[in-house]
Amino acid sequence: MKTLRRPKVRDQVASQIQQYIVEQKLGPGDRLPTEAQLAATFGISRLSLREATKSLEFLGIVESKTGVGLTVGSIDMERLTEHLSFHAGLLDADSQQLIDSRVILETGVLPHIARRMKEDSSIESRLRELVEQFRSARDLKSWIELDVRFHRSLLEASGLQPLVAFGDLLHIFFQRFRESVKKAGWKAGVESHDRIVDELAKGRVEAATAELRKHIESHKERLS
Amino acid sequence: MKTLRRPKVRDQVASQIQQYIVEQKLGPGDRLPTEAQLAATFGISRLSLREATKSLEFLGIVESKTGVGLTVGSIDMERLTEHLSFHAGLLDADSQQLIDSRVILETGVLPHIARRMKEDSSIESRLRELVEQFRSARDLKSWIELDVRFHRSLLEASGLQPLVAFGDLLHIFFQRFRESVKKAGWKAGVESHDRIVDELAKGRVEAATAELRKHIESHKERLS
DNA sequence: CGGCATCTGATTGTCTGATAATCTATCACC
DNA sequence: GGTGATAGATTATCAGACAATCAGATGCCG
C-alpha cells in the first residue's frame, strides 16, 4: 500500500494550465492570465504558482516577459533534445520497445506517404535529396543528423503532425543507439534509405515496409 | 540589435546543476546537495534555487523528497509523452489526423497482441471482461470510460510502453469526439470490440485490423 | 530479542510581504 | 514628427516563517 501524500501544488497547477490552454484553444503568442490572477484563481501563493509556470517555461510551453505577462509558447523539441542529450545516462527506455515502436509508427505512415507522393512531387525530391546528403556524410555527427532528418521527413510526408511529434520524442531516446553504429555500417544505411524511397515512388508500400522494418531492426543486433 | 537583459538566475542555476550531475558522473538515485546548500553555494535565495530545481524536476532530471532531499532522477518516456500535449502538432491536430494516428498506432500493435495472447491467457480474459462491462454501460460517461479502457488495454497488451503513453495522449485530444456519440451507436461499438477480440483470439490479425480500423474510422462520419 | 509505536531532526513545500527589474503606453518638449 | 522622461503593470528575486514529510533512533511490550 503506497504512502498517501499531498499532491504537489505545482504539479496540479501545471496540469490545470495545460487544460486551460487546450479548452480555450490557445496557441503560441496568446496571452495567459497574469501570475497574480492565476495565483488568486487557484488560491495559492504567487511563488507556488511560479514554480509551475517556470517548469512549463523550461520546455518553452509558456513564455514570460517582465512587465508584460505570460504567453503561450510551444514545446521546443530542440531545447528538449539539448537538455536530454546532455543526460544520456538518465534516459530510461527499453531498446527493444523503442525499436518496435519506431517500426509501428514509421511503417504505419507509409501508405499515407505513397498516396501523397502521387499528389505532391516535392515529397519524393525532398527524400531523394536527403539520401544524397546522407551518402556524402563524412563524420558520425553528420551521419546521425541526416539519418534523423530522413526519418523525420518520412513522418512529415505523412501529414500526420501528432506522429511527427511523437517520432521526435522517440528519436531523443534512440540517439545513443545510433552513436554505436560503425562506419562500416553507414553505407548499408544509405542504401536502405535509397531503396525505401524507390519502393515508395513505385507505389510498392509492402516492399517499402519490409525495407524500413529491416532498416530499423538492424540496430537490434548491436544492442544485445 | 537585441535588448540586453539580465540573464535569469534560474536558467543559470539549472545549467550549473546539470553540469554538476555530469561532472560528478551521478546517476539515478544519487544524492545532490540540499536546497539550502545549493542556494548558499550560488549566493541566491532558496526560492530562486527552487525555480531551477523544479524545472529540472519537471523533466525528471532531479527528484525531491520532503524531509530527505534532492536526488538525481531518470527521464522516462511516459512523463515526456505527457508533456507532448503542449506540442503544436497535437494542439493543432484536426479530427482526421487524430483518427489516422489512432488507426496507425492501434492496428500496428495487433500482431504483438496476437502473439502475446498465445503466451498469456489473461490478456484475452481481460479484454473479454472489458467488452462485457462495455455492454452493460448505462450512461455516456461510463460508456466513454469503458471505450477508453478497452483501447488502452489493447495497447497495454502489446507490451510496448511508449505506445501506451502515446495512446493516452491521443485519447485526451480524442475525448471531445467521443462525447458526440449517440446512444444508438453504443451497440455497434460493443460489437466491434467483441469482434476485435474474437479475431485476435483466433490469430486472425488482418481481420482484427480491418475491424479496428472500421471502428476507429466510424467517428469520421459524425465529425464532418 | 523482535516488532511496533513514538519522537526527533533534517529537509522540502508553501506562505506573506517586500523591493528590484523590465516592458509598454503616454505625455511633454524641441 | 522624433526623442526622452514618467507612470503603471507585471515579472524577477529576496527574507523570514511555518507546515508537511521522511528516515533514523529510541522506548515499550510481548
Confidence at B223, pLDDT banded by 50, 70, 90:
low
pLDDT at B19 over 90: yes
Summarised one tens digit per residue, pLDDT across range B36-91 is: 999 999 999 999 999 999 999 999 999 999 999 999 999 988 888 988 887 878 88
Instruction: Classify A8 as helix, strand or coil.
Output: coil
Average pLDDT, chain A: 90
pLDDT for A2:
44
Look at B14 and A105 and tell me if their CB atoms are within 8 Å. Answer: no
Q: Report chain A's C-alpha Rg in angstroms.
A: 21
* Strand D nucleotides, any atom under 7 Å to a protein CB: 8-17, 19-23
Chain B, residues 20-49, CB within 8 A of chain A, namely 21-22, 27-28, 47
Assess whether A40 (CB) lies less than 7 A from strand D.
no
Contact A137, A143 (CB under 8 A): yes
pLDDT at B3 over 80: no
pLDDT for B25:
92
Span A155-165, mean pLDDT? 94
Which residue in chain A is spatially nearest to B12 when comparing CA positions?
A58
Chain A residues whose CB is inside 8 A of the B108 CB are 104-105, 107-108
Summarised one tens digit per residue, pLDDT across range B160-215 is: 999 999 999 999 888 877 877 778 788 899 999 999 999 999 999 999 999 999 99
Average pLDDT, chain B: 91
A9 part of contact set with chain B, CB < 8 Å: no
Look at A164 and B89 and tell me if their CB atoms are within 8 Å. Answer: yes
pLDDT for A5:
64
Confidence at B2, pLDDT banded by 50, 70, 90:
very low
Which residue in chain A is spatially nearest to B75 when comparing CA positions?
A91
Closest by Cβ to B97, choosing from A14, A61, A160: A160
Contact B193, B134 (CB under 8 A): yes
| Whole-number Å distance between alpha carbons of B27 and A167 | 26
Look at B22 and A87 and tell me if their CB atoms are within 8 Å. Answer: yes
Residue A41 Cα, gap to closest chain B Cα (Å): 21
pLDDT for A3:
45
Confidence at B21, pLDDT banded by 50, 70, 90:
very high
Chain A, residues 62-121, CB within 8 A of chain B, namely 74-75, 77, 80, 83-84, 86-87, 89-94, 97-98, 100-101, 104-105, 107-109, 112
CA of B34 to C1' of C11 (A): 8
Instruction: Classify B69 as helix, strand or coil.
Output: strand
Angle (CA) B196 B198 B199, round 5°? 70
pLDDT at B147 over 80: yes
A210 part of contact set with chain B, CB < 8 Å: no
Contact B110, A100 (CB under 8 A): no
